[in-house]
């Protein structure tokens, strides 16, 4: 008993000592210096000899803690591409210390707000202090993408000007501020063909959103397909044929029905109507698994999760029935990373903590 009391006394003295020390300015400065140095010197390293996908946002507009809205970063060689850029996704990339300066283009699947809302944040972080960027940020997307980026430009015109006036041309050059819209014409579906990377756009069905797109990335023998928001659609099967990995949106309608019923009970009739409406233009996890099977896809990753699970029980509920359809699949989270090494058939699934 005396030993326990003695240990408690020693621990209390140590705690008090630490509390006193951290109030000393020089100690605070030393701790802050160490933290800042760590943030500046330890960027996330993405492999060069691979086709890599990093989920920077895994949820739909329905909130879920610790998840951003939809976003996938693709790395092929030295270049980065962003597919959709929902709320919170760029903060994720910055927290993970991804070198956003290397983003070569943004590809939008469609123009819903949860796919475009962080576009300005991405622009700022790929424009300021980026000596390698000599032009405006390329943004590819369906008809209407020019209207979207012109709107962002108009809203942030004063921001560009103020930053330039404050920091000068070396830090914030006006010549490369803003966006270059690239409207995709599906009559010419190959939108990028550069240094071994071929990106092909294809149409999907997300009525009344039209047009809506998916993208296929082929890089030196490896391939990744991103479905965008869509119902079960043969065009996804066609364009995913024999792909290494398919990222497919997924909506658990059995969970959406519960949300609809509970909102009716609470008198939230408009929100209940929204829940009823959205079941008509998304794909269930089981349907996505069937698509992956028909396309002979090697690995399926569920993303744009509606509603994104908040715990293990909800995760199991979300993918109910999937194991009866296929074995090779992953339910994504923010930070899920898929690496396809070149000259290999390996598929590596990792998670950034």
> Distance between CA atoms of 47 and 176, rounded to whole angstroms?
28
Span 213-223, mean pLDDT?
Answer: 98
Residue 108's pLDDT is 98
- Could you tell me if 324 and 47 are in contact, meaning their C-beta atoms sit under 8 angstroms apart? no
The CATH code for residues 47-351 is 3.60.15.10
Give the chain's largest Cα–Cα span.
83
pLDDT digits 0-9 by tens, 132-161:
888 999 999 999 999 999 999 999 999 999
* Segment holding 204, helix H or strand E: strand 197-206
What is the number of alpha carbons within 13 Å of residue 316 lying toward its C-beta? 3
228-278 confidence digits (pLDDT tens): 999 999 999 999 999 999 999 999 999 999 999 999 999 999 999 999 999
> Residue 117 half-sphere exposure, CB side, CA atoms within 13 Å?
14
Domain ranges of the chain: 2-38, 47-351
Query: Which DSSP letter does residue 186 get?
Result: T
Q: What is the pLDDT of residues 15-67, one digit of tens each?
A: 676 667 567 777 677 766 777 677 766 778 888 889 999 999 999 999 999 99
Helix, coil or strand: residue 231: coil
Strands 179-183 and 137-141 come out as parallel
- Asked if 74 contacts 224 with a C-beta cutoff of 8 angstroms, the reply is yes
Tokens 């430009």, residue? 153
Q: What is the mean pLDDT of residues 319-330?
A: 97
In the structure encoding, which two tokens stand for residue 230, read together? 């869509």
pLDDT digits 0-9 by tens, 192-202? 999 899 999 99
* Residues 100 and 137: beta-carbon distance below 8 Å: no
Per-residue pLDDT for 339 more than 70?
yes
Measure the CA–CA gap between 304 and 308, rounded to whole angstroms: 8
Phi-psi sector, 27: left (phi>0), alpha (psi -120 to 50), beta:
alpha
The pLDDT of residue 276 is 95
Backbone angles phi, psi at 99, to 5 degrees: -80, 90
Cα dist. 204→62, 175, 176, 207, 276 in Å?
A: 22, 36, 33, 9, 21
Tokens 């400065």: give the residue: 29
What is the C-alpha to C-alpha distance for residues 144 and 104, in angstroms, rounded to an integer? Answer: 21
Single pTM value for the model: 0.91
């Amino acid at each position: 008993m005396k030993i326990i009391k003695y240990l408690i006394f020693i621990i209390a003295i140590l705690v008090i000592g630490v509390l006193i020390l951290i109030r000393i300015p020089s100690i605070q400065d030393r701790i802050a210096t160490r933290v800042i140095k760590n943030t500046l010197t330890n960027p996330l390293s993405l492999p060069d000899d691979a086709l890599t996908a990093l989920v920077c946002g895994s949820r739909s507009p329905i909130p879920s803690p610790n998840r951003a809205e939809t976003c996938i970063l693709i790395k092929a060689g030295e270049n980065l591409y962003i597919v959709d850029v929902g709320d919170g996704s760029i903060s994720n990339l910055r927290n993970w210390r991804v070198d956003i300066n290397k983003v070569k283009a943004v590809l939008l699947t469609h123009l819903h707000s949860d796919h475009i809302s962080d576009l300005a944040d991405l622009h700022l972080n790929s424009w300021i202090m980026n000596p390698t960027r000599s032009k405006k940020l390329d943004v590819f997307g369906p008809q209407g993408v020019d209207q979207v980026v012109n709107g962002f430009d108009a809203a942030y015109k004063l921001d560009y000007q103020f930053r330039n006036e404050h920091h000068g041309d070396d830090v914030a050059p006006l010549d490369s501020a803003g966006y270059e819209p690239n409207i995709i014409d599906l009559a010419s579906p190959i939108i990028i063909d550069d240094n071994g990377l071929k990106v092909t756009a294809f149409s999907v069905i997300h009525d009344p959103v039209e047009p809506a797109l998916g993208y296929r990335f082929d890089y030196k023998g490896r391939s990744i397909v991103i479905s965008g928001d869509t119902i079960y659609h043969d065009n996804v099967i066609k364009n995913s044929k024999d792909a290494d990995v398919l990222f497919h949106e997924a909506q658990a309608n059995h969970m959406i029905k519960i949300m609809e019923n509970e909102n009716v009970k609470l008198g939230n009739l408009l929100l209940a109507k929204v829940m009823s409406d959205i079941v008509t233009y998304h794909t269930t996890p089981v349907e996505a698994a069937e698509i992956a099977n028909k396309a002979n896809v090697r690995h399926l990753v569920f993303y744009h999760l509606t509603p994104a699970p908040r715990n293990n029980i909800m995760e199991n509920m979300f993918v109910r029935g999937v194991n009866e359809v296929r074995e090779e699949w992953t339910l994504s989270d923010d930070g899920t990373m898929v690496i396809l090494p070149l000259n290999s058939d390996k598929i590596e699934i990792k998670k950034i903590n």
